[in-house]
Structure 1
Amino acid sequence: MSPVTEQVGWLAEIDRAINAAFAPITEVFSTIVFFPITIGEISFPAVVAWLIAAGVIVTIYLGFIQFRGLGVSFDVVRGKFSAKDDPGEVPHFQALTSALSGTVGLGNIAGVGAAMALGGPGATFWMICAGLLGMATKFAECTLGVKYRQVHEDGTVSGGPFRYLPVAFAKFGRIPAKILTGIFAVAILFFGAAGGNMFQANQTFAQVQNVTGGADGFLGSAGAALIFGIVLAIMVGLVIIGGMKSIGATTSRLVPAMGVVYVIACLTVILVNFNQVPGAIGQIIDGAFSPEGMAGGVLGVMIVGFQRAAFSNEAGLGSAPIAHSAVKTRRPVSEGFVALFEPLVDTVVICTMTALAIIIAGAPSLQAGIDQVQAGEGAPDGVILTSDAFATVIPWFPIILAIAVVLFAFSTLITWFYYGLKAWEFLFGRSRTSDNIFRGLYLFFTVAGTVLTFSEVIAFSDAALFLCAFVNLLGVYMLLPVIKKEMKEYLADRRSGKLHKLGVEPEDRRSARRRG
């Protein structure tokens, strides 16, 4: 069901006018970005193949770092090699939670629900594969995001693709490098200000409306979506005024707390129906290789899995390096190891748990969503599918999920503001006036997201986000030797104990030495 219900009055006219204006833009944009590759009778977006290839190539080139580097990742996240005087804005843990707040959230809740409707249980298998490959891609791009960052006189940081892409493309010439980086900046700006922003606002309203009586409740009245969007925008505005330190402090509290609540709920559904887990895993595997009734067969389900996983964890798309570049560190690759955790937590763990809960619950809305897709009526509200699944075991949980959705969406909204702001600064320069103009535009799209239909929002979001992948991954490919060199040196220094000798020893160890 669209969050835009049958309404009357001038507020409803605004709702319908926004939808009417947005639909043709989404159609044209999606057609360009998702240019199809046709094999036999099957067509799939070239950008999905581009993402899969990148994950495989980076994994092999870096020696399967996502598996052998997890121990290092854990040490870095807990601050084993950190010092208070390291350059940057936020510690490793806050950089991780800030980036996770842009990925863990509605992509895991609504995105997995949509994947189940679009590709069936088998999409989960390919989402897991995409997550494992994405760990290597995220390692590579976040290392670059820190290595080529700029630390300003006031201590703030500008990093990410806006800094490493010009270096990567320099061999093409100064103007081509600027054009390619500019294309990336425009794409990330579109997604930050419109796509990801509106998706979060849209699905937040959908879930809150669902638990307050649906279209017949008080949020089904005329203009409710618009008013809800204004309130949400005001709340976001109060946080984004404070910059990255305010964002990091907020997300470092919200993301772990709501993540724990959501994981406990998933485990409750799974454990209550533990005898059904083997059957659910069987459906995932069977659906991945022999899907029944799904458009495009195995290839179609694979595409859905990789597409929804990329939307959830954003590996290879260039967004996360923007947040990670603000980290306090002297060794860029250290944040690459931190970034390994993102796809692991986001896709391999949380998305899989969500999928298992949905499959085990077998709520009627899942089959209704599949029927809706097969009838060509567009994707259903994914958050509703997930909510209904939890309600089969915990009848009151949709209310808790509504709170979790609001907080997840809130943390994602403020993180994507930061991403969009860095793109805006790259395109238009840094100034108080310019930044405030972007703040106003961003909050406008937050409001607009609550009144647009889900299918239009998700189509625009996908198109804007995947456009980033074309440019970002090309730059990552060209700088892979730099990443490998940084990685080898860091691992060698860790083995020899040299990291401590460089003055980046654990804070607790330094304090103990002073006391002694």
Structure 2
Amino acid sequence: MNKKLLSLLFLAVPIVTFAQSTSDKIDVVFKDYTGWFVDAIFYEIPFSETFQIPWVLIVLVGGALYFTLYFKFINITGFVTAFQVVKGKYEDIEKHGVDKLYGDEAQVEDVIGSINDENENASEKSFGDQTPGGDVFETIRDESAEGEVSHFQALTAALSATVGLGNIAGVAVALSIGGPGATFWMIVAGFLGMASKFAECTLGVKYRDVDADGTVYGGPMYYLTKGLKEKGAGGLGKVLAVLFAIFVVGGSFGGGNMFQANQAAAQFTKLFDLTGGNAGLYFGIVMAVLVAVVIIGGIKRIASVTEKVVPFMAGIYVLAALIILFANFTLIDDAFMLIYEGAFSGLGIAGGLVGVMIQGIRRGAFSNEAGVGSAAIAHSAVRTKYPASEGIVALLEPFIDTVIICTMTALVIIITNFDGQFMQYGVEIKEGVELTAIAFDSVIPHFSIVLTIAVILFAFSTMISWSYYGMQGWKFLFGKGKITDLVYKVLFLMFVIVGASISLGAVIDFSDAMIFAMVVPNIIGVVMLSPVIKRELAKYTNAINKKEEAIEDGAIDVNDHM
């Protein structure tokens, strides 16, 4: 299958060459046929002559506020627990169940013996080996819990789809329109989005399908279908699930693929001053081959790559931001003062306070994708017996993506632009990456080179994660099988090359609309299934409490034997 996929990939080159020569015509025709859909999704409700709010933003933020209140500020109460889960503190109960481990002592000893046997067998095998029964060694120690990846891998796989150009370019655009105050509302959107991520990712694990070979299929398509059927709304669930699947496939080809390849190619060719119509094509081919190598292996390969790439690239970016902030630490308090004043006054920005609020919340919500439902697809593949455990892990995403990385980008831009050297607030810019590069270069010379590499890595990780999202939607619509897989992967890789090679306008507008159209069926389903989420949260919380009580009472801690 690998050779077939790569062979078909190179057969796409003549098609892409044709697309290059007719890109403007394609764009015009595409806009004629899809413009109505884009206008409908991004329609702005006019509240006065000075400001309008996109209705999809109202749904996103309204849903996030509802989940925050309904789950009693899980974005605060679950924060510390989320880090403990990622570190593996409760891995034992998630594998075997708290009752089996912390019931009577005999059961505990039996489980410890089986774990020791597993570890002994595992030590005799190398990474990636197959057992005689056909099991993959990566999951041999976790067969008591269904799933394919660890909490950390699921987190990084989902983060890789959200941490990216929005954090680098999107923040700069938001500041140019809404001023420093937009940063405050960005943080608010990230905070509220933590509750949305918790809710949808809990459902992703709760209602996932697991094949006999251990392959996981999950996401909104499944909890909309199965969850709403339990509530007597099976017909509505099927309609919403099909709509979501269509939207996620479209979004994976566009915003999760072509846009990423296009921006990465643009930054690469600009940095090295590469000219000629084929520069993007060659870049696209190389990128497609690299993406193919990863996505051929499915979610396990994707997770194994993202758990290395995401912390690395995010770490470099955050480190550079910290260096700049440390070098200008005397200005940090002034920057926060501008953010605070701008958040509640508008500082003369068009639309005033409400205009600033809209820009900040819009960028924050669109950056972390909380409420969109995409992350629930990646998180559904986690190994655990308690769905809420992954929901709690997922709430870290908006915090890392928006509260930390977006805020750092904003602070760097504000501090380096105190005298208005390169940006006038209230005047919208188009090239956000370039502005961010100027801000970083002003303190760290030639950092724009590193930033270009970061953009390419961000784009690469986003593409491989969105390939998995789109694949899940594709399989939901067209069935599971090798042919189905091959068709989708070939199409996805072709769009990588197309995206890097041609100018994109209406195509990207449409694909972005597809991504945010996912909000509608997802939020409807998650709100209706909120009582189920609350029960799962109570179940996991009780399991944690039971383990802690057993430890306090002197019971055997299975972690000491793992």
Per the TM superposition, whether the score is higher than 0.5 is yes
Alignment of 1:184-199 (within 5 A): 184-199=244-259
Mapped pair 1:132 → 2:183: no
| CA distance in structure 2 between the partners assigned to 1:133 and 1:188 by the alignment | 23
* Amino acid across the alignment from 1:412: T
* Amino acid across the alignment from 2:524: L
Partner of 2:449: 399
The verdict on how the C-alpha distance between 1:345 and 1:90 changes in structure 2, with shifts beyond 3 A counting, is same
User: Residues 65-100 of structure 1, C-alpha deviation per residue, up to 9 Å, x if partnerless?
Assistant: 111112211111011222432211011111111111
| CA distance in structure 1 between the partners assigned to 2:251 and 2:550 by the alignment | 41
Mapped pair 1:64 → 2:64: no
* Amino acid across the alignment from 2:214: G
* Amino acid across the alignment from 2:396: F
The verdict on how the C-alpha distance between 1:105 and 1:233 changes in structure 2, with shifts beyond 3 A counting, is same
Mapped pair 1:122 → 2:131: no
Mapped pair 1:110 → 2:169: yes
| CA distance in structure 1 between the partners assigned to 2:426 and 2:505 by the alignment | 14
Residue 168 (structure 1) shift: 4.0
Alignment of 1:464-503 (within 5 A): 464-497=514-547
Partner of 1:203: 263
Partner of 1:386: 436
Mapped pair 1:331 → 2:386: yes
Mapped pair 1:263 → 2:318: yes
Mapped pair 1:47 → 2:56: yes
Mapped pair 1:347 → 2:405: no
The verdict on how the C-alpha distance between 1:301 and 1:368 changes in structure 2, with shifts beyond 3 A counting, is closer
Kept in 1, the 8 Å contact 2:157–2:306? The answer is yes
Partner of 1:376: none
Residue 250 (structure 1) shift: 0.5
Partner of 1:318: 373
Partner of 1:367: 423
Alignment of 1:304-315 (within 5 A): 304-315=359-370
Kept in 2, the 8 Å contact 1:121–1:284? The answer is yes
Partner of 1:163: 222
Partner of 1:5: none
Kept in 2, the 8 Å contact 1:201–1:409? The answer is yes
Kept in 1, the 8 Å contact 2:253–2:511? The answer is no
| CA distance in structure 1 between the partners assigned to 2:213 and 2:549 by the alignment | 28
User: Residues 139-185 of structure 1, C-alpha deviation per residue, up to 9 Å, x if partnerless?
Assistant: 01100000111111111100111111113433564433211111111
| CA distance in structure 2 between the partners assigned to 1:507 and 1:241 by the alignment | 37
* Amino acid across the alignment from 2:423: Q
Kept in 2, the 8 Å contact 1:381–1:454? The answer is no
| CA distance in structure 1 between the partners assigned to 2:257 and 2:545 by the alignment | 43
The verdict on how the C-alpha distance between 1:433 and 1:33 changes in structure 2, with shifts beyond 3 A counting, is same
* Amino acid across the alignment from 1:179: V
Residue 15 (structure 1) shift: 3.8
* Amino acid across the alignment from 1:37: I
The one of 201, 206, 214 aligned to 1:142: 201
Gap regions ≥5 residues in structure 2: 1-16, 96-140
The verdict on how the C-alpha distance between 1:394 and 1:64 changes in structure 2, with shifts beyond 3 A counting, is same
Residue 336 (structure 1) shift: 0.7
Mapped pair 1:183 → 2:243: yes
Partner of 1:443: 493
TM-score, normalising length: structure 1: 0.89
| CA distance in structure 1 between the partners assigned to 2:161 and 2:549 by the alignment | 31
Residue 39 (structure 1) shift: 1.4
Give the stretch that moved more between structures: 250-259 or 380-389.
Answer: 380-389
Q: Percent identity?
A: 47
Residue 453 (structure 1) shift: 5.0
Mapped pair 1:33 → 2:41: yes
Residue 282 (structure 1) shift: 2.1
Kept in 1, the 8 Å contact 2:203–2:533? The answer is yes
Residue 457 (structure 1) shift: 6.3
User: Residues 340-366 of structure 1, C-alpha deviation per residue, up to 9 Å, x if partnerless?
Assistant: 110111100110001111111229785
The one of 328, 337, 343 aligned to 1:288: 343
The verdict on how the C-alpha distance between 1:438 and 1:39 changes in structure 2, with shifts beyond 3 A counting, is same
* Amino acid across the alignment from 1:101: S
| CA distance in structure 1 between the partners assigned to 2:538 and 2:355 by the alignment | 39
Q: Highest Rg: 1 or 2?
A: 2
Residue 426 (structure 1) shift: 0.8
Gap regions ≥5 residues in structure 1: 1-8, 374-378, 512-516
Partner of 2:135: none
| CA distance in structure 2 between the partners assigned to 1:499 and 1:154 by the alignment | 36
Residue 325 (structure 1) shift: 0.4
Give the stretch that moved more between structures: 385-394 or 223-232.
Answer: 223-232
Partner of 2:294: 239
Mapped pair 1:229 → 2:284: yes
| CA distance in structure 1 between the partners assigned to 2:455 and 2:21 by the alignment | 28
User: Residues 448-486 of structure 1, C-alpha deviation per residue, up to 9 Å, x if partnerless?
Assistant: 323455765663343222111111011011111111111
The verdict on how the C-alpha distance between 1:230 and 1:114 changes in structure 2, with shifts beyond 3 A counting, is farther
| CA distance in structure 1 between the partners assigned to 2:64 and 2:168 by the alignment | 24
Partner of 2:118: none
| CA distance in structure 1 between the partners assigned to 2:411 and 2:87 by the alignment | 30
The verdict on how the C-alpha distance between 1:301 and 1:21 changes in structure 2, with shifts beyond 3 A counting, is farther
Partner of 1:75: 84
SS of 1:44's partner is: strand
| CA distance in structure 2 between the partners assigned to 1:322 and 1:210 by the alignment | 35
Kept in 2, the 8 Å contact 1:311–1:465? The answer is no
Kept in 1, the 8 Å contact 2:207–2:227? The answer is no
* Amino acid across the alignment from 2:447: F
| CA distance in structure 1 between the partners assigned to 2:384 and 2:223 by the alignment | 17
TM-score, normalising length: structure 2: 0.82
Kept in 2, the 8 Å contact 1:206–1:384? The answer is no
The verdict on how the C-alpha distance between 1:223 and 1:264 changes in structure 2, with shifts beyond 3 A counting, is same
The verdict on how the C-alpha distance between 1:506 and 1:323 changes in structure 2, with shifts beyond 3 A counting, is farther
Residue 251 (structure 1) shift: 0.5
